Amino acid sequence: MSVIAEANPLHLHGALPRFDRFETAQVEPGIRALLMGLDEELSELETSLTNLLEGGDPPSWSALIDPLEAMSERLGFGWGLVGHLMGVQNSDPLRQAHSGVQAEVVGFGLRLAQSRPIFEALEALRAGAAFSTLDPAQRRIVESLLREARHAGVGLAEAERVRFNEIQAELAELGTNFSNHVIDATKAYSLILREEEEIAGAPESLRQLAAQNACENGEEEATPERGPWRITLDAPVLMPFLEHGECRRLREQLYRAYVTRAGEGELDNTPLIEGILALRQEMAGLLGFKSYAALSLDSKMAASVSDVDDLLERLRSASIGAAEEDLESLQQYASEKGLEGPLELWDIGFYSERLREERFDYSEEELRPYFPMPRVLDGLFALAAWLFGVTIEAADGETPVWHPDTRFFRVCDEAGEPLAAFFLDPYSRPGDKRGGAWMGECLGRTRRGDDRAREAVAYLICNQTPPVGDQPSLMSFDEVLTLFHEFGHGLQHMLTRVDYGLASGIRNIEWDAVELPSQFMENWCYHRETLLGLSGHFETGEPLPGELFEKIDAARTFRVGSGILRQLYFATMDLALHRQDLARSGESIFDVQRRVAERTTVLPPLSEDRFLCSFGHIFAGGYAAGYYSYKWAEVLSADAFSAFEEAGLEDADAVSETGRRFRETVLALGGGTPPMQVFTAFRGREPSPDALLRHAGLALEPS
């Protein structure tokens, strides 16, 4: 290993990252050195493959796929580490370093994907007699690589390929700038409240967090009782205020600020969105697709855009009436409580929470003391042991982390043999961490020859309420759901049995199936024994009272029509933006938003709503023309959970047996098997939306 490889943690592929040795100054020289080495390896591979093909010999798996995987792994580790830190430890110097080499990384990725010798070698491997001797996962990898090459422009003429590559570089830069703008716009806005009437109605947990925020930002005398209180657009602060703050004027002010984030001034993402959409449409046209939506779905589980339209419309028809009834009953309730005039968007959270508290006789804040994070983790890990036969052990201190709040865990089988590991970064840090929650890959499982398979390692990232003072993080029920969701992604990454790095874990899984295990895990938060088992009052240790669980369970379908319709609004808007050429249609992105809202909302967005300007899922993430995946996969996940219901949730042995089957199919087979085959291997049949709507208390419209 060279001196630079020893010194630079971006080059230490195959081992746990050395966050203690990472410096921003290492990014540009480290990535450039990595690319230089990979470029030489790629040239050598192309020469070798060309010689094979000219000699009439189709390449073997080891001569073609193994080197491709090795290059992909090394680039993915080094550049992935930079991307990970951009999400959890963002800074201006890191942004500059990332921007300095991003175009070169994109350029190498395109050179690899567009390599004619590699593409021709893949075609020769698929056409050769040896292809039939490969196992199904290997054959699927070859087919996927061929499709990816076509989508990367391998078949384009020279001039078109040059333009295609320019588009890729521009899209990468626009996506990064979009994400940075959202972080900066969120960080830039805050309100300092000094009067009790301004904070009236706020639960104690919010007063504590807002006072702590004020202390950390110059108000050293701030206390939860007397203030001042600093309110931001960060979710753990904003959402409780919108649900509990009695000052309607401030709710309106905060709501308007939230839905116009990154929508004006220097941080305005509108031109970036317009550029992204135009470039994606142009790219799709170069590849022979009618729209970017058609290109996106060419590699997904759904067969066509019309298939997605059909599912979304069926769900819309089933939920629109319920959502209209939700609004009508909420309006009546708010009027009875003294609201003059119609409900506004900043009233929905407040009056919904009041109505839910009254109807089900509990508040979300009443639940927090029962969900201290350490107890929730213990319960989550106990569930994983019951269902999947794995033990999870804290391993803090075994490896460096990027922030003191980050923890490290090891996953072992029932015999105590290590299987995988994960980092957990649970708390919100609006100063340097992007919002939302996600699972990221640190290392993927792979095996070389007879060697022991390398263990998969995941990043689990949340933005939940941080500890305040001497108290642990007291989680809301939604934060518990989010933790379970991301842990489900992590399980699929970590418990894979696929030995090929190009298809292990979540790799090579069609995007609209990848949410199956994550949404499946959320169902266990409504299972009595699980929820009571992971609860424990942070002061007394008493579990959640049974009557509170019954209320939570009863409230599961509260305003569910509105919740489903909200997701359909996002999914439909995403597809609408990506299925047409806006330049030809004459519509602006906000015209499209309003048009979609007419069919998928019961209370239209504000005229100045700029939600699209912070919709990172589709403009800076992997969900472009794919946001529907949440509902598509929710059909799969609800149907999968119904297998446990049919086995009998009260029968511990039957649940455990079904859990092992889920592990050996959904979690183990990863991207080595088509998702429909994986699902039917577990369920014994193809999926049905009946379970999803049954859980939601809605009736399915006839297809």
Catalytic residues: 486
Cβ pair 544, 535 in contact under 8 A: yes
Residues 6+ positions from 405 with CB-CB distance below 8 Å:
425, 426, 427, 429, 466
Q: How far is CA 592 from CA 199, 280, 345, in A?
A: 37, 17, 20
Three-class SS string for 617-647? HHHCCCCCCCCCHHHHHHHHHHHHHHHHHHH
List the alpha helices (DSSP H) in 89-115: 92-113
Handedness of CA 297, 301, 306, 311 (dihedral sign): negative
Residue 698 CA from chain centroid, whole number? 27
Q: In angstroms, rounded to a whole number, what is the distance separating the alpha carbons of residues 517 and 230?
A: 37
Question: Tokens 């409240």 label which residue?
Answer: 193
Q: In angstroms, rounded to a whole number, what is the distance separating the alpha carbons of residues 495 and 569?
A: 34
Q: Is 507 exposed, middle or buried (0-12, 13-18, 19+ CB in 10 A)?
A: buried
Question: Tokens 């979690």 label which residue?
Answer: 667
Q: In angstroms, rounded to a whole number, what is the distance separating the alpha carbons of residues 255 and 609?
A: 10
Q: Is 414 exposed, middle or buried (0-12, 13-18, 19+ CB in 10 A)?
A: exposed
Angle between helices 136-151 and 61-88 (to 10 degrees): 60
Q: Which tokens go with 111?
A: 């050179």
Q: Which tokens go with 349?
A: 């959270």
